[in-house]
Amino acid sequence: MVPAVTSRVDSAKALVAAASREFGDSLAVLTSFQREGVVIIDLVMQAEIRVPVMTIDTGRLPAATLEMIETIEARYGITVERILPDPNEVAAMVSQHGRDLFYEGIAQRSLCCNVRKVRPLARRMAGMAAYFTGLRREQSESRAAVEAVDRTGSPVRISPLADWTAEDVAAYSLAQGLPEHPLYSAGYTSIGCDPCTRAVNPGEDERAGRWWWETDADKECGLHFSPDGRVERTVDVFLRDVLTQAGSAKQGLSE
């Protein structure tokens, strides 16, 4: 690897070690098994830090992602923890808006992300102090200000690759012989749920394949950034209705 890459690797390793010292057992790796996430896993495993490796299984993941989970488990001898959405909340959302509601508008897409991603993660991370993520500033305009250590929320978000370029990630992955998600060979540069992600076209940024049918929208799911105020108010209404129906369903099961 070139000196600049080596320097960034050393900085990332130092940050991983510092996070382990500060947060101990209350630390986790959160990944969707894109290139950056695999690099994070590798850095943590090389440091012999025994923390849970977690992913959010939305129920709409591509088959290739499920295969990638098995590949990572076999390589590192670990069991990846799958964070699942509340089945009653999913059922209520689908009954009210349909299974593919995300095509209907940004608020509906935000609702789906809330039910399948944001809320399950919040439940799992309650009581956790910090987590590693593979965010990079270069990935999109909305991530340009990502901090290596973001203490503005709880848990603390740690992004050891914040200042890495795509070339840095590729160089490290090649040097370490890391497995790669199969969808990259099909032209994907960002990989999420199966119906919400496509391959990118020449000249598009890395996140262009997410929710490609939307225009002038923030290409984030809500895990890392909140949608704008107008959408937030709309999705709050949708979410309240979904939770009301889900709560009624749970109550009926307990009676």
Amino acid of residue 12 = A
Q: Cβ of 249: how many Cβ atoms within 10 Å?
A: 16
Task: Find out whether the peptide bond into 52 is cis, omega within 30 degrees of 0.
Answer: no
Termini Cα distance of the chain:
62
Number of H helices, E strands in the chain: 8, 6
What contacts 164, CB < 8 A, 6 or more positions away?
Answer: 8, 12, 36, 136, 138
Task: Tell me the catalytic residues.
Answer: 221
